[in-house]
C-alpha cells in the first residue's frame, strides 16, 4: 500500500497548491473590487467581479472538499480499510484507485449511485 500512500499525498499536495492559487486569485479580486466599490456599487464592473468571486468561491469549496476526501482516504489507509468499497465491501480495484485515489466506492456502486 506504499504506492497508495504516495498517490494520496501527491493528490493532497496538488489540491493544496490549487487552493493556494485560488485563494491568491480570490484576494486579488477582492482587493480590486474594493477599489471599484469606491466609485459606484451599481456599475456593471461590480456585477462581473461578484460573478468571478462566486465562481472562485465554488472552486475553493470543491478543492477543500477534495482535500477532506483525500484526508479521509489516508485515515482509511491507516485503519486498513483503504481500497474497500463502502457500499458493497468489495475491492475497489487498482485501476480505479490509480485514477481516483480518494474513491470510496467501487465503479459498480458509483455507477448505481449516479
Interaction site with Zn ion (CB under 5 A): 85, 87-88, 106, 109
Smallest distance from Zn ion to CB 108, Å: 5
Q: Which is nearer to Zn ion, 17 or 87 (CB)?
A: 87
Q: Which is nearer to Zn ion, 47 or 88 (CB)?
A: 88
Smallest distance from Zn ion to CB 85, Å: 3
What is the 3 state secondary structure string of the chain? Answer: CHHHHHHHHHHHHHHHHHHHHHHHHHHHHHHHHHHHHCCCCCCHHHHHHHHHHHHHHHHHHHHHHHHHHHHHHHHHHHHCCCCECCCCCCECCHHHHHHCCCCCCCHHHHHHHC
Smallest distance from Zn ion to CB 72, Å: 17
Amino acid at each position: 500500500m506504499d504506492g497508495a500512500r504516495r498517490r494520496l499525498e501527491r493528490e493532497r499536495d496538488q489540491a493544496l497548491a490549487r487552493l493556494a492559487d485560488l485563494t491568491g486569485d480570490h484576494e486579488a479580486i477582492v482587493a480590486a473590487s474594493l477599489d471599484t466599490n469606491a466609485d459606484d456599487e451599481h456599475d456593471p464592473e461590480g456585477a462581473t467581479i461578484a460573478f468571478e468571486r462566486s465562481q472562485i468561491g465554488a472552486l475553493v469549496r470543491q478543492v477543500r472538499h477534495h482535500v477532506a476526501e483525500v484526508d479521509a482516504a489516508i485515515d482509511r489507509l491507516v485503519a486498513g480499510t483503504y481500497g474497500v468499497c463502502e457500499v458493497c465491501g468489495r475491492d475497489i480495484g487498482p485501476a480505479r484507485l490509480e485514477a481516483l485515489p480518494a474513491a470510496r466506492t467501487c465503479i459498480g456502486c458509483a455507477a448505481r449511485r449516479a
